[in-house]
């Protein structure tokens, strides 16, 4: 099976080494007008007026921008139920944390997920994956974390695995074992159980899966997260952490010390700790849809990039703090509120998150790379960040196959 895209402005992102530190994240290595030839699921040539076998299906880009598909590296897209009543409470003035402290928030979704079957979770996730694909996401990370018991975490992870098999893009699962504290269980017993019973069970069925936790007052403490992560490392799992969403609890230096892969959120991080993170080999994952939906607070993406850090942006798609699966929306917000350039936002949505997820075969357009490509409606990539609220993606190609063509 082959396909050629003709006469595109091709953002290859292929000339500088990966991952991209600091402002180098914005080096897009654009080819003014070029063709991309795809054989099976990979790019086999990039160049001008490429000769291809007679009868090869063709997409005429007409000068529009062709770029790598988005890699959304932080989502909670597997859930049941909704949080519409809580959203209305927030519109009337209640905060996310007040709702959480009253037993709602993440725990509302935990109750809905525990009551749902694995099949229901799978169907819900497939619908959300399709929506993400339509807006250009060809690789997506999906966390568990709404089960919070051994059986329910495994149910979520199995649903994520089953949905992944039905989707033309790539799903990377993460075991979010420290997402909240179950109010029905003594906190010490609960944390011990997640570490000593749930983690080994997850390890048995999903060896090597990244392990995550939410370090926040009212959620897991820094010491509890560290205990989980040390055990996860002993079992061979990489770790990631949600830190400083509302409160800075010292998780950033602890994550650097532990050798986590990424620290995600960072809205409340002090500048010294952000500088330390920028100087480390950990990725920062910033989630601007959260600030848009919750409270107008955004992580300092500009400061992090200026200090030479490894930056990713992601949607954080979830029912509570960011009901959004659109990477173009995350980019539009990162540029306005994180003060990134459009080019930096593009690199932080493609090559860097691909590297964070250890998927070195995507995030650039180059010979041998996986053919996960999107053709924008625009001839200038800055429109991706400037325009918002309208789908900017005309054609989606996942694994060499055209999955969506928007008229
Ligand atoms: O990253 N903060 C923790 N987890 C999610 C929110 C999940 C939810 O509200 O259901 C986040 O924002």
Q: What are 358-390's pLDDT values in tens digits?
A: 999 999 999 999 999 999 999 999 999 999 999
Residue 1: pLDDT over 90: no
Residue 407: pLDDT over 80: no
**What spacing in Å lies between the alpha carbon of 112 and ligand 1's midpoint?**
15
Sign of CA dihedral 206, 277, 270, 22: negative
Q: Which residue has the tokens 């480390």?
A: 280
What confidence tier does 343 reach under pLDDT thresholds 50, 70, 90?
very high
281-318, pLDDT tens digit by residue? 999 999 999 999 999 999 999 999 999 999 999 999 99
- CB burial of residue 355 (10 Å; 0-12, 13-18, 19+): buried
For residue 320, the ligand 1 atom closest to its alpha carbon is: 9
For residue 68, the model assigns a pLDDT of 98
Of the candidate ranges 17-21, 164-168, 171-175, the one whose mean pLDDT is the lowest: 17-21
For residue 316, the ligand 1 atom closest to its alpha carbon is: 1
At 20, list the tokens: 């991209």
5-58, pLDDT tens digit by residue? 999 999 999 988 899 999 999 999 999 999 999 999 999 999 999 999 999 999
For residue 302, the model assigns a pLDDT of 98
Q: Are 75 and 143 in contact (CB under 8 A)?
A: yes
For the segment 218-222, the average pLDDT, to the nearest whole number, is 97
CA distance 362 to 353: 10
Going from the C-alpha of 209 to that of each of 124, 128, 205, the distances in angstroms are 22, 22, 9
Q: Which residues line ligand 1 (CB under 6 A)?
A: 76, 105-106, 109, 214, 242, 245, 290, 316, 318-321
Sign of CA dihedral 254, 259, 260, 265: positive
What confidence tier does 110 reach under pLDDT thresholds 50, 70, 90?
very high
Residue 209: pLDDT over 90: yes
Q: Are 180 and 107 in contact (CB under 8 A)?
A: yes
Q: Are 19 and 41 in contact (CB under 8 A)?
A: no
**What spacing in Å lies between the alpha carbon of 243 and ligand 1's midpoint?**
11
CA distance 352 to 311: 7
CA distance 136 to 34: 21
Q: What is the mean pLDDT of the chain?
A: 97
177-204, pLDDT tens digit by residue? 999 999 999 999 999 999 999 999 999 9
**What spacing in Å lies between the alpha carbon of 138 and ligand 1's midpoint?**
22
**What spacing in Å lies between the alpha carbon of 318 and ligand 1's midpoint?**
7
Task: Tell me phi and psi for residue 89, to 5 degrees.
Answer: -60, -40
Determine the number of helices (DSSP H) and then strands (DSSP E) in the chain: 16, 16
For residue 16, the model assigns a pLDDT of 83
Vertex 154: Cα angle to 152 and 158 (nearest 5):
120
Specify the residue with its C-alpha closest to ligand 1, atom 6.
321
For residue 319, the ligand 1 atom closest to its alpha carbon is: 10
- CB burial of residue 62 (10 Å; 0-12, 13-18, 19+): exposed
Q: Looking at the DSSP assignment, which residues form a beta bridge with residue 390?
A: none
For residue 273, the model assigns a pLDDT of 98
Residue percentage of the chain with pLDDT more than 70: 100
For residue 290, the model assigns a pLDDT of 98
Specify the residue with its C-alpha closest to ligand 1, atom 1.
316
Residue 139: pLDDT over 80: yes
Specify the residue with its C-alpha closest to ligand 1, atom 2.
214
Pairing of strands 58-60, 401-405: unpaired
231-261, pLDDT tens digit by residue? 999 999 999 999 999 999 999 999 999 999 9
For residue 406, the model assigns a pLDDT of 82
End-to-end CA distance of the chain: 24
Specify the residue with its C-alpha closest to ligand 1, atom 3.
214
Residue 227: pLDDT over 80: yes
């Amino acid at each position: 099976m082959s396909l050629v895209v003709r006469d595109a402005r091709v953002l290859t992102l292929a000339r500088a080494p990966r991952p991209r530190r600091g402002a180098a994240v914005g080096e897009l290595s654009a080819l003014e007008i070029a063709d991309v030839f795809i054989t099976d699921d990979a790019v086999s040539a990039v160049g001008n007026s490429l000769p291809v076998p007679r009868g090869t299906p063709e997409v005429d880009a007409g000068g529009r921008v062709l770029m790598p598909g988005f890699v959304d590296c932080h989502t909670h897209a597997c859930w049941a139920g909704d949080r519409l009543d809580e959203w209305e409470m927030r519109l009337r003035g209640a905060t996310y944390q007040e709702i959480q402290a009253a037993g709602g928030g993440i725990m509302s979704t935990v109750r809905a997920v525990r009551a749902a079957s694995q099949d229901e979770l799978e169907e819900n996730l497939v619908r959300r994956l399709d929506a993400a694909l339509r807006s250009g996401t060809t690789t997506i990370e999906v966390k568990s974390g709404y089960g919070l018991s051994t059986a329910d975490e495994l149910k979520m992870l199995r649903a994520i695995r089953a949905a992944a098999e039905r989707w033309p893009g790539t799903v990377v699962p993460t075991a979010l074992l420290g997402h909240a504290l179950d109010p029905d269980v003594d906190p010490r017993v609960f944390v011990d159980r997640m570490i000593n019973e749930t983690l080994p069970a997850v390890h048995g069925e999903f060896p090597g899966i990244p392990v995550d936790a939410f370090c926040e007052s009212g959620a897991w403490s820094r010491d509890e997260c560290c205990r989980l992560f040390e055990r996860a490392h002993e079992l061979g799992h990489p770790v990631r952490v949600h830190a400083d969403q509302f409160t800075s609890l010292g998780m950033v230096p602890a994550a650097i010390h532990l050798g986590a892969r990424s620290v995600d959120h960072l809205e409340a991080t002090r500048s010294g700790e952000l500088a330390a993170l920028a100087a480390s080999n950990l990725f920062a994952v910033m989630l601007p849809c959260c600030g848009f939906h919750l409270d107008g607070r955004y992580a300092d993406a500009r400061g992090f990039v200026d200090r030479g850090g490894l930056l990713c942006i992601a949607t954080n798609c979830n029912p509570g703090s960011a009901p959004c699966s659109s990477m173009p929306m995350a980019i539009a917000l990162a540029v306005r509120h994180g003060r990134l350039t459009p080019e930096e936002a593009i690199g932080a949505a493609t090559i860097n998150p691909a590297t964070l997820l250890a998927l070195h075969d995507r995030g650039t357009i180059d010979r041998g790379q996986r053919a996960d490509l999107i053709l924008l409606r625009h001839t200038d990539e800055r429109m991706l960040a400037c325009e918002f609220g309208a789908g900017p993606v005309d054609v989606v190609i996942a694994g060499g196959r055209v999955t969506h063509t928007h008229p």
